[in-house]
Amino acid sequence: MTITGIAAIGAGLAAIGAGMGIGRIGGSAMEAMARQPEMHGKIQSSALILAAFVEAVALFGVVVAFLQG
């Protein structure tokens, strides 16, 4: 297996982690919105920000994969 292949696997693993993280954020945000529909806007924007933080970690993985590209 070449180094590029290994990098691609690494990027995939990073995507799995971020997927789980964003999934949890999204699920909890939905639940919270259902519980308190009047807080809809605030929950949505915090969920987006948190998703961006989680996503950044996955993107670091993607960038490492790019390093091999």
Positions that interact with another protein (CB under 8 A): 41, 45, 48-49, 52-53, 55-56, 59-60, 62-63, 66-69
Nearer to another protein, 37 or 41 (CB): 41
Q: What is the DSSP letter of 1?
A: -
Ranges of H-type helices in the chain: 3-35, 40-68
Residues 6+ positions from 35 with CB-CB distance below 8 Å: none
Nearer to another protein, 32 or 50 (CB): 50
Cβ at position 8, least distance to another protein in Å: 12
Nearer to another protein, 20 or 52 (CB): 52
- Reading the block at residue 6, the tokens are 């290994």
